């Protein structure tokens, strides 16, 4: 096991264990992809919430090669007082190399004037339960069904959609918070 010393949002150091170090990547959004996110945002009627998406509902901005590895994604959103909405797609990715299910979140902000021109991916997240080891037999089953939605079992919401409070203290909430924090850093950097 490798250990990394990382700066957290408070400027303090955290020790993070894992095979890889968490990485962020910015991804440019085309105008048609921005329209797709704007349409998704319009369907998010509540102030905040979540909804499971099948692989066919995952936005086209997420590269096809990655979408093909995702049997599902958990869409999470939160509106701000300035009429913006954070959209976080926590993709559940089948990792063949490591025989695991990994969370691979992608986030974007949709403002009242439209979607931002970029989104953020988090690779190799450092939050607990981001990765769920599976056997090769389970991997084969997950490739052909939507059972990947139910891993890790103790963190799956009771329904297919609901309030963000249903996700408290889960790996999904941690993915949501990490992605929003990174989007805020990026927004602040671009507005400075």
In tens, the pLDDT along 66-76 reads 898 888 899 99
Place of tokens 């701000």: 80
Q: Is 65 exposed, middle or buried (0-12, 13-18, 19+ CB in 10 A)?
A: exposed
Place of tokens 């695991």: 100
Query: Taking the model in full, what pTM does it have?
Result: 0.81
Convert the pLDDT of each residue in 10-59 to its tens digit.
343 333 444 668 889 998 999 999 999 999 999 998 999 999 998 899 99
* pLDDT value of position 15: 37
**What percent of the chain stands above pLDDT 90?**
48
Q: Would you say 101 and 142 are in contact if contact means Cβ atoms under 8 Å apart?
A: yes
Neighbours of 183 (CB within 10 A): 21
The pLDDT mean for the chain works out to 82
């Amino acid at each position: 096991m490798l250990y990394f010393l990382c700066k957290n949002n408070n400027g303090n150091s955290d020790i993070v264990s894992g095979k890889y170090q968490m990485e962020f990547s910015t991804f440019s959004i085309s105008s048609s992809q921005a329209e797709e996110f704007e349409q998704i945002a319009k369907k998010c009627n509540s102030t905040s919430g979540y909804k499971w998406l099948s692989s066919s509902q995952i936005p086209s901005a997420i590269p096809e090669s990655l979408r093909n590895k995702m049997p599902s994604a958990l869409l999470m959103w939160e509106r701000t007082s300035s009429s913006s909405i954070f959209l976080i797609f926590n993709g559940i990715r089948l990792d063949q190399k490591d025989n695991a299910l990994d969370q691979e979140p992608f986030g974007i902000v949709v403002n009242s004037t439209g979607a931002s021109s970029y989104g953020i991916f988090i690779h190799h997240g450092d939050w607990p339960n981001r990765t769920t080891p599976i056997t090769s037999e389970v991997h084969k089953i997950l490739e052909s069904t939507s059972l990947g939605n139910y891993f890790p079992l103790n963190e799956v919401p009771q329904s297919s959609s609901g309030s963000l409070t249903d996700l408290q203290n889960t790996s999904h909430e941690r993915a949501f918070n990490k992605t929003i924090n990174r989007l805020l850093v990026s927004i602040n950097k671009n507005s400075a």
